[in-house]
Amino acid sequence: MRRGATVYLYELAWILPSIAIPVGMLAALLVTAFGAGIHVPSVAGQVDPTKVPETAPFDKPGLVQTGPRHYEVRMVAQIWSFTPDEIRVPTGSTVTFVATSKDVIHGLFIPGANVNVMLIPGQIARVTAHFDRPGEFFIACHEYCGIAHHTMGGRVVVETRP
Ligand SMILES: [Cu+2]
- Its pTM surpasses 0.85: no
Give the pLDDT band (50/70/90) at residue 36.
confident
With beta carbons less than 8 A apart as the criterion, state whether 61 and 53 touch.
Answer: no
Question: In this structure, what are the phi and psi dihedrals at residue 14, rounded to the nearest 5 degrees?
Answer: -85, -40
pLDDT in tens, 46-95: 889 899 889 889 999 999 999 999 999 999 999 999 999 999 999 999 99
Closest CA to 83 of 117, 106, 58: 58
Q: Where residue 4 falls among pLDDT bands split at 50, 70, 90?
A: low
| C-alpha dist (Å) from residue 91 to 3, 21, 160 | 70, 44, 6
Report the DSSP pairing between strands 70-78 and 62-67.
Answer: antiparallel
- Cα–ligand 1 centroid distance for 99 (angstroms): 13
Ligand 1 (single-atom ion) residues, CB below 5 Å: 106, 141, 145, 152
- Does residue 114 come out as left (phi exceeding 0), alpha (psi in the -120 to 50 range) or beta? left
Residue with the bigger pLDDT between 33 and 97: it is 97
Distance 80 CA to ligand 1 centre (A): 6
